[in-house]
Structure 1
């Protein structure tokens, strides 16, 4: 039981900037539990953002409030996944033999920066005109569920990092619990097609990166989360579901 709570604390610490659960001890036994809680952390973030939206809605114009929610999302996640997104993009603009080396570089390259800024503008615009904020917990949960699915089902090609420990320790029972709880929440929201949309995004990303590199890295997990979020927001924004 202690490892479960430690895993939850580690998941919150890794995926958010919330100051209450700062734990970075990736010791054996808690890393699988941490990954198991990724979708829950996404749901929690979405619930916080939805609560802020509902509180401010009577006082702030809808467009500006959407930008505030976007800014809070960036602050609460510490732009962690955006960093992975930018590093992944940088890796696409060099020969694949050098891509992993480029992605590990702590400095963001020109194309990563340009694409990252463009991506942020698209996400800010999406949230500025978004109306279904009660679905934010579901959107953020499904984007992180995609990362969990990628960790469990697809090869991890980096030689070190949290991804190695996560893949080694994420057990089948933990994966089944994550799937069951996530699917139950999708049913409660009655948004099964949104889950299908998220899985299609993961399939496209998986097909591309396994063909290019043979698997995933921590940066590609972040890329997966960011792209899934943006796609799901726009699927809802455009009324496609």
Structure 2
């Protein structure tokens, strides 16, 4: 049940409609990396097929667009709101107010465009095997990073939806997500996967600490930004070590 709840929340993939509170979604967070593995499997399969028909850059671009589509742009939206807030605000309250505004600002637009361009170029520059490994593992590692951000940092808006979501994420959720991620990273990522098991939590800690210093904690948008940037970090490493 929790896996289906996580899958329905994180993707547009067909799953039973379940009535879920923010706390329910938080309790399902241990399954986020597993949902990421299913997403990554679909992306890798699609990319392998596209690479047979299209030049490398075009295949990578279609894969990046499919990635955004299958996730409803959920984490890209969080990335945009986060960078609108930290780029356009001058204090904690103004940053949080900007992040709550649904309109897309200049900093958010730049962040989303940059993320899509980076994913496309990194996939196009990776070798065939490395590209498929990266597409499978990046969604797993990105959603694993969310668990660290939720467990290790307070909410910037106590009582808000992000805070209720965070409270549902227990140490058991982090343990389950970690076990799943370690298994997938060691089985599918080789030495690069093992290296990312150290780098992704380290990046999450540093980036989340920086955000918390600006916002007084993290928000749901922050978790989206952590996920997107962790995915890009994973693609960077696979492309660099091809």
1:217-228 paired onto structure 2 within 5 Å:
217-228=219-230
1:25 aligns with 2:27: no
1:94 aligns with 2:96: no
1:130 aligns with 2:126: yes
Q: CA deviation at 1:139?
A: 1.6
Deviation string 1:51-73 (CA, Å, 9 cap, x unpaired) is 12233433333222111111110
Structure 1 pair 196–103 and aligned structure 2 pair: CA distance change class (3 A): same
Deviation string 1:76-127 (CA, Å, 9 cap, x unpaired) is 0111111111111111121123111110011111221233223322222222
Contact 2:22 2:165 in 1 (8 A): no
1:105 aligns with 2:104: no
Distance in 1, Cα, partners of 2:19 & 2:101: 21
* Runs ≥4 residues deviating over 4 A: none
Question: In angstroms, what is the RMSD of aligned CA positions?
Answer: 2.0
1:9-158 paired onto structure 2 within 5 Å:
9-26=4-21, 30-92=24-86, 93-96=88-91, 97-131=93-127, 132=130, 133-158=132-157
- TM-score w.r.t. the length of structure 1 is 0.88
Distance in 1, Cα, partners of 2:100 & 2:177: 29
Give the match's secondary structure for 1:20: coil
Distance in 2, Cα, partners of 1:116 & 1:60: 24
Contact 1:66 1:130 in 2 (8 A): no
Give the match's secondary structure for 1:58: helix
Q: CA deviation at 1:36?
A: 1.0
Contact 1:31 1:165 in 2 (8 A): no
Structure 1 pair 24–88 and aligned structure 2 pair: CA distance change class (3 A): farther
Contact 2:30 2:175 in 1 (8 A): no
Contact 2:147 2:169 in 1 (8 A): no
Unpaired runs of 5+ residues, structure 1, are none
Contact 1:157 1:217 in 2 (8 A): yes
Distance in 1, Cα, partners of 2:30 & 2:231: 19
Distance in 1, Cα, partners of 2:70 & 2:173: 26
Contact 2:76 2:225 in 1 (8 A): yes
Contact 2:64 2:116 in 1 (8 A): no
Distance in 1, Cα, partners of 2:25 & 2:61: 34
Unpaired runs of 5+ residues, structure 2, are none
Contact 1:13 1:24 in 2 (8 A): no
Contact 2:149 2:223 in 1 (8 A): yes
Stretch moving more, 154-163 or 138-147: 154-163
